[in-house]
A and B are shown apart, each in its own frame.
Chain A
Amino acid sequence: MTRFEPKIVGFLCNWCSYAGADKAGAAQTPYPANFKAVRVMCSGRVDPQFVLQAYAKGADGVMILACHPGDCHYKEGNYRATQRHRILLRLLKQFGIEPERCRFDYVSAGEGEKFVKVVTDMVESIRSLGPLQPTVAETFPVLIPVD
């Protein structure tokens, strides 16, 4: 039996966590290719519905990586992101989706090693959880307007 390879998408903010991922690259520190990044300018841009849509489209796990408290390039977008994440976890619970599948963390522009650690941990924890049952996620309605 082949090993389960989880699909993980991560929303990285341009100024801290995306730069942290670049720092991991510059240091050539490997991490699993299961993780793929979507760059946004600020973690505050991450609409919780992006996360729901990720599950609906086949993600086994979603990460939101933000600037550390007090470091947000836009002052407080990371606080909004963490507030939304907490509420989102309560919603996911009602759908029977494990909280491990939606991880929020802080990664600064200098924290290449931390980036590798949180991503590797995530991949391992989702690998042990197994795939997200598609029947659950496919029931998410698309509420978000696409222009």
Chain B
Amino acid sequence: MKTAVYFCSCGDNITERIEFERLKNELSGHPEIAYVKPAGFLCAEDGKEFLRNDLVMERPDRVVIAACSPREYEKAFMQVLAEAGMNPYFLQMVNIREQVAWVTPDPDEAREKACALIRAAARRVALHQPLEKKQLEARTEVLIIGAGPAGLKSALTLAQAGRKVVLVEKTPVLGGLPVRYEELFPNMECGPCMLEPVMGEILHGEYAHNIEILTLSEVTDVAGYLGNFTVKITQHPRYVDTVRCIGCGECIPPCPVSVPNEFNDGLGARKAISLTFAGALPNVPFLDPAACLRWKAEDCQLCLKACPVENAVEFQDAEKIHERNVGAIVLATGSALYDCRNLPQFGYGSIPDVYTSLEFERLMASNGPTGGSILTAAGKPPESIAIVHCVGSLDEHHKPYCSGICCQYAFKFNHLVASKLPGTKIYHLYKEMVAPGKEEFSLYRHAVDNADSQFIRYIDIKDLQIRSNGDGNVVHYRNAAGREDSFHATMVVLCPAVEPAKGSAKLGQMMDVSSDRFGFYEELHGALDSAQSRVKGVYLAGACQAPMNIQKSISQGMAAAGYILSELRDGKKLQVDPVTASVNETACSGCHICRFVCPYKAISYTADGRTASINALLCHGCGTCVAACPAGAIIGNHFTNDQILAEMEAILQ
């Protein structure tokens, strides 16, 4: 075994403390080291050229580079080894700059320490295995779950880059929650106005052929890993053919059944066959079998008879199971509102005219149950409105986090009420107030400057109580100064905490994506990789990861698309890093301990449960399972027991 040592003087940074000739002499007595050569700046282009040429000439079996921290140039020197025809993993670096020369004032101590570390590296590198990056074929198609702003923009970005996208949406319509809002903060743009062009592109635009839209659909099974997922999607019948239907809506008025409209949060009614709301896309009604008389053994055909297109209404439509193969998955399942019934002091659900913010959005929407007029349940415009901020947010008994968006839509409500019903008294009850961003102050200013608006700060949500007095509602409160008082409010709007959408935990489990303690999907890193889950190939976009506004959701959707475009490209094979763990199957006792310590779900078991196997693509190479395995059956490649022990023992000699 011929081991070469290259000593970088780093200008004078290293040789100032460690004299090369004496170090060389002291290392010369060690048979495992074939030669020690100095260099000026190994990291410079001419330094790397020297190293490359010298490796070609000397043909050592292993290389030790004593220089700066491996955290800086290890990858670059591995590249040089590869260019010189060597296996790049036959390198071990010794950090004699940051961890010796710069921290050891005494030259003798510095030299001795450097010698010990170089000898240890030589012992270790002799045991290095020639590792190879494996290459795997990868699919480039993408599954996106959720067609809100994040999912839509992610889908469109990928489709524009030529990617095939399967967009799965559980409701009959695209656009998520914001498409139902009359206006959006901070600029009072109308929700449909903002999203319809995006949805138009997705449905009928230049790249629409790259996007398969599956509405009324749910992902029911996921198998595989980055580059190679197999997904099962259950599509519930719409009973209206999306291709044949021309969207005239003639089928809707004759329908004799009325049910509460869940797309208006239960306010107002819809027919058994209906559009969710005027302007909903795709512009194709859906038939609700839970409401339709045909499913109650009546032979009603009024919608079919009203339809001017042959075979557009199809009662025989049935559930379909689709199977799709994709390389990556984007979770964009959005958020929901905390159930206000958990705060009984507001009487939500029992006292009239107590609304959630979503219901109030629909009351203000021109395609909502009142055509955009703000009216009480009795059909009268309110004289006063109480807007309660922080309902369940910033509250240890409910949701400890700030939901971030509520203050801003509350100011938007203030603005809309003031313009639709001038003179209406508006009370804001808030715990904390936030309006970060460069535009958000504007609506805040409007609310604060409005003579009809009043701001009351409270400390604890328990200090608020709403009672109905037959003539509207009375809000009792204790303010932050401890003073108790009350006021009359015809309407109460609650701004509940934002929480993950229903069913997101179950969906996450399907692909081993973990949820944080609040139920949001856990990101790989809060700042660096918030649009990546901890499972390779599964990305996060929008409020399924944390409460966030539309702008951030859309940015995350595009960030997810960016990750995918970078990771999965046509013709590009996936590189599998060999510094991962692998199982010695004959030694594995099947105890499953490794499976529980792996943070990446990279370890699975054979069908009989007796032998572990590690998916190298999912393994991040931390080595926790290696240390945990009681049978010593797991090998931490490039950090094997014998390599680590050889280095450690040499250090101690």
Please list the residues of chain A having a beta carbon within 8 angstroms of any beta carbon in chain B.
7, 9, 14, 18-19, 21-22, 24-26, 28-31, 33, 36-42, 44-48, 50, 53-54, 57-59, 73-77, 80, 84, 116, 144-147
Q: Cα distance A145–B642 when bound, in Å? A: 8
CB distance from B384 to the nearest CB of A (A): 46
Answer whether residue B647 sits at the interface, using C-beta atoms and an 8 A cutoff: yes
Say which residue of A30, A42, A54 sits within 8 Å of B624 (CB atoms). A42
A57 to B120, CA, bound (A): 13
**Residues of chain B within 8 A of A75, CB atoms compared:** 534, 599
Chain B residues closer than 8 Å to A145, beta-carbon distance:
587, 632, 641
Q: Which of A40, A59, A144 contacts B623 (CB 8 A)?
A: A40
Which of B70, B587, B632 has most chain A Cβ within 10 Å? B632
Q: List 12 A-B contacts (CB under 8 A).
A: A9-B652, A24-B98, A25-B99, A28-B103, A29-B103, A33-B112, A44-B623, A45-B636, A47-B627, A53-B648, A80-B627, A146-B642
| Residues in B whose Cβ lies below 8 Å from that of A76 | 599, 624
Tell me whether B71 and A14 are in contact (CB under 8 A): yes
Bound form: Cα–Cα A7–B97 in Å: 21
Please indicate which of the listed interface residues A31, A33, A46 has the most CB atoms of chain B within 10 Å of its own CB: A33
A28 touches B102 (CB 8 A): yes
Q: Please tell me which one of the listed residues A40, A74, A77, A147 contacts residue B635 in the complex, with CB atoms under 8 A apart.
A: A147
Q: B649 an interface residue at 8 Å Cβ cutoff?
A: yes
Q: Look across to chain A and name the residue whose beta carbon is closest to the beta carbon of B620.
A: A74
| Residues of B with C-beta under 8 A to A57 | 648-649, 652-653
Bits for B342-362, please: 1 = Cβ < 8 Å to A, else 0.
000000000000000000000
In order of increasing CB-CB distance, the 6 nearest A-B pairs are: A25-B98, A45-B623, A44-B624, A74-B622, A146-B642, A145-B632
Q: Give residues of chain B (575-615) contacting chain A, Cβ–Cβ below 8 Å.
A: 579, 584, 587, 597, 599-600
Tally of contacts, chain A with chain B, CB under 8 A: 131
Residues in A whose Cβ lies below 8 Å from that of B95: 22, 25, 37
Known A9-B652, A58-B653, A80-B627: A38·B647 in contact at CB below 8 Å: yes
Q: How far is the CA of A54 from the CA of B645 in the complex (A)?
A: 8
Instruction: Describe B's contact surface by its main secondary structure.
Output: helix
Contact present for A25 and B97 (CB under 8 Å)? yes
- A26 contacts which of B98, B620, B624, B649 (Cβ < 8 Å)? B98
Enumerate chain A residues within 8 angstroms of B228, measured Cβ to Cβ. none
Inter-chain contacts of B448 with A (CB < 8 A): none
B113 in the interface, Cβ–Cβ < 8 Å?
yes
- Is A40 touching B644 in the complex (CB atoms < 8 A)? yes
Inter-chain contact A53/B649, CB cutoff 8 Å = yes
Closest CB of chain B to A55's CB: distance in Å?
10
A147–B640 CB distance below 8 A: yes
The reply to whether the CB of B441 lies closer than 8 angstroms to some CB of chain A is no
Q: B112 — which chain A residues lie within 8 A by C-beta?
A: 33
Q: How far is the CA of A33 from the CA of B649 in the complex (A)?
A: 17
Across the interface, which residues of A come within 8 angstroms of B120, CB to CB?
Answer: 36
Task: Indicate whether B45 reaches chain A with its CB closer than 8 angstroms.
Answer: no
Q: Which of B599, B621, B627, B652 contacts A54 (CB 8 A)?
A: B652
Q: Does B203 contact A (CB under 8 A)?
A: no
Q: Give 8 A-B pairs besides A40-B644, A84-B627, A145-B587 with Cβ atoms closer than 8 angstroms.
A: A41-B579, A45-B627, A48-B627, A57-B653, A58-B652, A74-B622, A146-B641, A146-B642
A74 to B649, CA, bound (A): 27
Cβ of B26 under 8 Å from chain A: no
A77 and B625 alpha carbons, distance in the complex (Å): 9
Is B639 on the interface with A (CB-CB < 8 A)? yes
Whether B636 and A24, one on each chain, are in contact in the complex, defined by CB atoms closer than 8 angstroms, is no
Q: Do residues A47 and B71 form an inter-chain contact, with CB atoms below 8 A?
A: no
Do the beta carbons of B645 and A50 come within 8 Å of each other? yes
Please determine whether B622 and A77 come into contact, CB atoms closer than 8 angstroms.
Answer: yes
- Closest chain-A Cβ to B452's Cβ sits at a distance in Å of 46
Known pairs A39-B70, A80-B597; A54 contacts B106 (CB<8 A): no
Given contacts A22-B71, A53-B649, contact A44 B622 (CB under 8 A): yes
Q: A144 near B99 (CB under 8 angstroms)?
A: no
- Nearest Cβ in chain B — how far from A31, in angstroms? 6
What are the residues of chain B within 8 A of A46 when measuring CB–CB? 627
**Minimum CB–CB distance for B69 against chain A, Å:** 5
B507 smallest CB distance to A (angstroms):
21
Q: Kindly list chain B residues whose C-beta atoms are within 8 Å of the C-beta of A44.
A: 597, 622-624, 627
User: Is B199 an interface residue, CB under 8 A from the partner?
Assistant: no
Partner of A144, one of B109, B599, B645: B645
Q: Are A45 and B113 in contact (CB under 8 A)?
A: no
Pick from A21, A37, A41: contact of B639, CB below 8 A: A41
Mark contacts of B295-335 with chain A using CB atoms, 8 A cut-off: 1 yes-contact digit, 0 otherwise.
Answer: 00000000000000000000000000000000000000000
